[in-house]
Amino acid sequence: MAAWSCLVTGAGGFLGQKIISFLMEEKDLQEIRALDKNFRPDTREEFSKLQTKAKVTVLEGDILDAQCLRRACQGVSVVIHTAALIDVNGINPRQTIMDINLTGTQLLLEACVHASVPIFIYTSTVETALPNNYNEIIHNAQEEENHECISTDPYPHSKKLAEKAVLAANGCTLKNGGTLHTCSLRPMYIYGEGNKFLLPIVMTALRTNGVLRKTGPLSLVNPVYVGNVAWAHILACRGLRDPKKAPNIQGQFYYISDDTPHQSYDDLNYIMCKEWGFCLDPKPTPPLFLLYWLAFLLEAVSFLLRPIYEYRPSFTRHLVVLTNSVYTFSYKKAQRDLGYEPRFSWEEAKQKTTEWIGSLVKLHKGTLKSKAQ
């Protein structure tokens, strides 16, 4: 294969950094462009220390800045688009979430067409295919079953529309007369070192004698390790660059899971934390139907107050379903088309995540000791 270059959006994030670390292993890769709105100083330092034949260019820019995106895409062979505002709690305004996740993706697709970038890989989410109520069970689902979440919550809705835009763009004509080829990856809930959802749970537990708050006691899901999700992106990139494999991948979406045991979110958190003395909150959780209807009432209040006051509910019906339902998905299609096999076993993923949590515990104890002195 000829020399090539790759742009990764959201490069400073949990997943983006892993993708870049794996890209460094790729043959004939001349340049990796790492784009994000803001990079933490430690991330910048890590990128600057990378030992790779490919040049690593760090770019700071807004996903809603069309000119910035056009410059970033100029001369690039592949775009891996992981940048997104992940907000399942509705903390950010709806329009902000829709702008970043949907409009940003549309602008990036336009930039690819203008700069004649032939390959576009999109990081979607399993939330586009979640159950539509907590009584619905999805077990080892495959892509052909066409599960679709109808929630209008801004995060899943924006990601669903953005994925549709990406897949619809497959086959469109580029400025140089070439053709754009796209695909989308739908990872399960991603865990691993640096997970921004587990981090606040751990930090809160450190302030409450190691008691982990419950987030989804009634769920049964198949979480996926961040390293395996990153690996799937690399394989999608290889596949779309391979003339023999590409026709089967173009315009397709893939569920990305691994061999992590099916379990609840709370069990996953506990397994990762128990070595450090953590325990699950023993208090019983309210009945699920009560939580669901309370969420409905909060959403109704938010709707009624909208003309005069921006009230954002503390939780929604979508969040109740997300954290308390049974939904698992198979990676057989990714295995067949992309040659995907998990790069990290469950034991390896568990060990890496547990060690990261241990570093947080030690840092917290060190901080307390310094304050005491």
| Known catalytic membership, residue 189 | no
Whether the CB-CB separation of 257 and 191 falls below 8 Å is answered with no
- Number of H helices and E strands in the chain, helices first, is 14, 14
Cα–Cα–Cα angle for 271, 276, 282, rounded to 5 degrees: 60
Measured N-to-C along each axis, helices 14-23 and 41-48 cross at an angle, to the nearest 10 degrees, of 0
Whether the CB-CB separation of 222 and 330 falls below 8 Å is answered with no
Tokens representing 365?
Answer: 């104890």
Whether the CB-CB separation of 152 and 128 falls below 8 Å is answered with no
Whole-angstrom distance, CA of residue 66 vs CA of residue 49: 30
Q: What DSSP string describes 317-346?
A: HHHHHHHSSEEEE--HHHHHHH----SS-H
Tokens representing 43?
Answer: 């991330």
Of 122, 134, 155, 340, which is the active-site residue?
155
Whether the CB-CB separation of 180 and 170 falls below 8 Å is answered with yes
Whole-angstrom distance, CA of residue 372 vs CA of residue 300: 48
| CA distances from residue 128 to 53, 79, 103, 161 in whole angstroms, order as listed | 37, 22, 17, 9
186 - beta bridge partners? Answer: 255
**CA dihedral (122, 247, 341, 263) positive or negative:** positive
* Longest CA pairwise span in the chain (Å): 68
3-state secondary structure of 200: helix
DSSP 3-state percent helix, strand, coil across the chain (nearest 5): 45, 15, 40
3-state secondary structure of 41: helix
DSSP at 125: -
State the catalytic residues. 155
